[in-house]
Chain A
Amino acid sequence: MEKIHPADRAANDYLQQQRDVYQKGKHADVLVAVLFLVLIFGLLLLHVILPDKEYSKRENKSLASFPEFSLSALLKEDGEKGAQKSLIADYLEDQFPLRDQFMMLDGARQFVLTFGQSNGVLSLKDGTLLPLDHTCKEEEPATYKVLLSTIKAYEQSACFTGKYETVFALAGRKSAFVSDLPADYPKSIIKHNRTLAKSLLKDSGCTPLDLTTVFEQYAAEQLYYKSDHHWTSLGAYYASAEILKQYGKELAALDSFTKEIATEDFSGTAYNASGLYFLGGEKIEYFRYEGDEEYTVSLCNALGKVQKQRKGFYDLSALEEEHWGTAYDSFVSGVDTPIVRITKEGEERPTLLVIKDSFAHSALPFLAQEFDLITVDVRHKNFSLPNLLEEGEIDGILVLMSEETLLS
């Protein structure tokens, strides 16, 4: 008699068990097969029928379009940049029917299995979404090196008068100010990154302004958005007041500003990443003051050419559903604008160059009360700007960015 291999026996036993279940009642097995077929054919059909989208508001992400066919792309290996199969995989992933709903389902799965964590974002009891911190491995991160050389380039250029000392204001991480941080949250990462950031701040050669220390006295107030990593207008106000103090100037009292609700449906970057789209939005407030609509805001390209100009700090089009980005972009400009100039007509005022990340955007309306401003984003690495400015145009340099950007 031929000896039966154990794997054969296992396969036969398994099949027999399934056959027994099937023979007890076919309905469940037929149901599985039918539902499976309905899903794979149905979703394929939906994909064909539904029009492609260019942008996902929920994820704040541009979506891949159908790739053009080319033989060279086809012959590239899987995973290689520009390979036809990778482009098609990206396209299918981005244009998958009911993508938002599937993202939400996956977010919910992760949330349940990790006690509130999803796609690197931790959901806290009060609805705060906290992007998880990661230990910065570098002792001198790349952004810091770029920053130092940028500061040097400006300080040595003819456009800099040297009237004010260069101030480096560093915004802390949201995790440092979350009131109900879970007991198991790895605080050593916060500590490590903070120690590193403080030492970089100290070694930068600028006048250091550690805004984390400043914020400690206001920790009970909502300094950061729940769904976003940025500070609120209140946080920006406190930060701006401290920055202006460094220049010997005083910001108007908090109650002199009129709080205007820009939107009550703001969903920030932590929300975009989390997939927890069943959570509600929150409000963004503008701290308005008399005459704030008389400032001229010029949005420039990397060559300093004005692309767009408007009166007032707030870009209300960023609050609309069609806007590609979050409602935080309504503060002055989105992250894609390399250079912004803010001036007040009819007044001769000192000019401050702000080397910044997006944290500065909501602080600019406050800083503009005392200075004309030119902002450059450190992530655009715009070294040619000194050549574009006139001799003696800059009186001071302010670096205003977050710890996340500095340590990236």
Chain B
Amino acid sequence: MVFSSLEFLFLFLPITLIVYFAIPRKYIAFRNLALLAVSLLFYGWGEPVYVFLMVFSILLSYFYGFMVGKYKETKPKKAKLFLILAVISNIGLLGFFKYTDFFIGILDSIPGVDIAPLGITLPIGISFYTFQILSYVIDVYRGDTAAEKNPLTVGTYVTLFPQLIAGPIVRYKDVDDQLKEREHSVFLFSSGVKTFVAGLCKKVLLANVAAAAFEELKALPETDLTVLGAWMGILFYSFQIYFDFSGYSDMAIGLGKMFGFRFLENFDYPYISRSITEFWRRWHISLSTWFREYLYFPLGGSRVDKKWKVFRNLLIVWFLTGFWHGANWNYILWGLLFFVFLVLEKTFLLKLLDKIPAFFGHAYTLIVVMFSWLLFHFEDLGAGMRWALKMFGVGAQVINDTTLFALLRSLPMIAILCLACTPLPKKLYYRLCAKGALYRVIFAVCGIFLFLLAVAALVSSGFNPFIYSIF
């Protein structure tokens, strides 16, 4: 089930709110239990079989966390052994379900080897919840948090439906206190509603519209795709992936607040970045944080004696970041593309970008990011390459009337999408809110009107893709 669906908004959410708030505030354990139950239902709705796999993973991680906690002080080697087992078993499950067919494909391409792919269906959200489970065991090992005695609390942490399918990846140490005691207030609830509605509108009114525009261009006969059309297509996809994922993250954060949880921000206007380094500080923050804390730093990060070791560490992190996104070469290349630019920036480019007007930094970042989405989107590298060549006029007209029509009719939407990528609307909101109650009420009514527009779009169209649901 996805948040941007009628069954979630008008069936799952109202019932969950009733169940959750019917339990008195002092019985936090029962509220957690209620959350665990509805979260399993939420997951089981889309994955009726794999829900058992998730429960198995939770029990396993509870056991490992418990053992690591037990031996951490007295028998550190044994604690380390359980940590390693936890990592192997969780990465093993992720590897089996996500990467088996990829490796079979590689073996199969060797002359003389003939192995059929297993056709394993990827359990939704496995990449996300595996990282959460690992963060729990590692945090316990590092002493950042105590091992949880109650398996239901670990279960609630892993399955918590707001962040279960597509993050943000919540580190255990960030929410362990909240699992035992959290704020429930009108303020936090209404703040959650506002964040949720903003996310829903991003997803339904912006991402889905951009997705439809991109799909239309993709559906054109290849001979009809013009240079302008190819650029428009990748521009729309850049909008789609940002509003799709950041909208979903906002919905998750908003829902978290409704139930008293505070998650990290996952996106911070990445398209206004002046460098790739800055972009990755603003894009999918919870993932880059996870990789930095649980992989880059343990490898030595940038505090190593030789510069090549920094690059080696970066290479490992970015190879795995790409591979985490999908079991295909395009994702690996996508990760490596960022590695190359981050290395260039570390060596000289950042200094250069600081000296030249900001415009060039913005333009450079956006162009690199847009081309990276080209790699990200086209699992068929040949198709991606053909699209890229069209962008440079190879085998394509500059413009035709079909593309011009699409562009002219999309102009208002492109303007809205561009504006929504910047912090300007938010700044305007707070500035006007500070001016008086009337503005605040007007914004409140506008917010609800936008919610109704999003619902209308869901009722009207079944077109509701969600890119990150496949990860």
Question: Which positions in A face B, CB cutoff 8 Å?
Answer: 5-8, 10-11, 14-15, 17-22, 24-33, 35-37, 39-41, 43-44, 47, 74-75, 77-78, 85, 88-89, 92-93, 96, 99, 102-103, 105-107, 109, 112-115, 117, 119, 135, 137, 184-189, 275
Contact = CB atoms under 8 A, between A and B. Distances in A.
A103 B458 CA distance: 9
A353 to B, nearest CB: 35
Nearest to A75: B48
B264 A11 contact: yes
A160 to B, nearest CB: 38
A36 B451 contact: yes
Contacts of B7: 85, 88-89, 92
B396 to A, nearest CB: 15
A22 B263 CA distance: 20
B189 interface: yes
Contacts of B13: 40
Given A17-B430, A184-B408, 9 more contacts: A11-B262, A28-B444, A29-B190, A74-B48, A93-B462, A109-B457, A114-B410, A185-B405, A275-B460
A115 B409 contact: yes
B383 interface: no
Given A22-B187, A109-B453, A187-B401, A92 B10 contact: yes
A26 B186 contact: yes
A119 B460 contact: yes
Minimum-distance CB pairs A-B, first 3: A28-B440, A106-B460, A33-B190
B459 A93 contact: yes
B385 interface: no
Contact of A106 (B17, B265, B456): B456
A18 B289 contact: no
A193 B308 CA distance: 60
Contacts of A103: 456, 459-460
Contacts of B6: 89, 92-93, 96
B452 interface: yes
Interface string B168-187: 00000010000000000011
Given A93-B462, A99-B459, A33 B186 contact: yes
Interface stretch (B106-114, B191-199, B232-240): B191-199
15 contacts: A7-B264, A11-B264, A18-B194, A20-B434, A32-B444, A32-B447, A35-B444, A85-B7, A93-B462, A96-B10, A102-B456, A113-B413, A186-B401, A188-B400, A188-B401
B457 A35 contact: no
A33 B185 CA distance: 12
A25 B437 contact: yes
B14 A44 contact: yes
A114 B265 contact: no
Contact of B461 (A10, A85, A106): A106
B119 interface: no
Contact of B265 (A7, A22, A77): A7
B409 A117 contact: yes
A36 B443 CA distance: 14
Nearest to A187: B401
A99 B456 CA distance: 8
B191 A29 contact: yes
Nearest to A109: B453
A47 B437 contact: no
B187 A19 contact: yes
A18 B193 CA distance: 12
Q: For A8, A27, A32, A119, which residue has the most chain B Cβ atoms within 10 angstroms?
A: A32
A92 B11 contact: yes
B277 interface: no
B252 interface: no
Contact of B402 (A10, A35, A40, A188): A188
Given A5-B289, A103-B459, A106-B459, A28 B443 contact: yes
A39 B405 contact: no
Contacts of B456: 102-103, 105-106, 109
Given A11-B263, A89-B6, A22 B191 contact: yes
Interface string B407-447: 01110110010000000000000100110010011011101
Contact of A85 (B1, B17, B221, B409): B1
Nearest to B453: A109
B163 interface: no
Nearest to B1: A85
B264 A5 contact: yes
A78 B121 CA distance: 12
Nearest to B408: A184
Contacts of B220: 135
Q: For A7, A89, A114, which residue has the most chain B Cβ atoms within 10 angstroms?
A: A7
B303 to A, nearest CB: 14
Nearest to A190: B401
B5 interface: yes
A189 B402 contact: yes
Contact of B409 (A22, A74, A114, A187): A114
Given A93-B6, A188-B402, A27 B441 contact: yes
Contacts of B400: 186, 188
A39 B452 contact: yes
B49 interface: yes
Nearest to B438: A28
B366 interface: no
A349 to B, nearest CB: 47
Q: For A5, A41, A103, A189, which residue has the most chain B Cβ atoms within 10 angstroms?
A: A5
B194 A32 contact: yes
A30 B121 CA distance: 44
B362 interface: no
Contacts of A93: 6, 458-459, 462
A18 B191 contact: yes
A173 to B, nearest CB: 16
Contacts of A31: 441, 444-445
Contacts of A189: 402
B286 interface: yes
Interface string B253-293: 10000000011111010000000000001000110010000
A70 to B, nearest CB: 13
Nearest to B464: A89
B146 interface: no
B63 to A, nearest CB: 29
B88 interface: no
A21 B451 CA distance: 21
B405 A184 contact: yes
B448 interface: yes
Nearest to B220: A135
B434 A29 contact: no
B459 A39 contact: no
B46 interface: yes
B190 A32 contact: yes
A20 B444 CA distance: 16
A33 B257 CA distance: 12
B440 A77 contact: no
Contacts of B444: 28-29, 31-32, 35
A33 to B, nearest CB: 4
Contacts of A113: 209, 412-413, 416
Contact of B186 (A7, A29, A39): A29
Contacts of B437: 24-25, 27-28
B378 interface: no
A180 B191 CA distance: 49
Contacts of A275: 460
Contacts of B451: 36, 39
A198 to B, nearest CB: 19
Given A7-B266, A106-B453, A184-B408, A36 B193 contact: yes
Nearest to B293: A5
A132 B1 CA distance: 33
A291 B356 CA distance: 86
Contacts of A32: 190, 193-194, 197, 444, 447-448
B53 interface: no
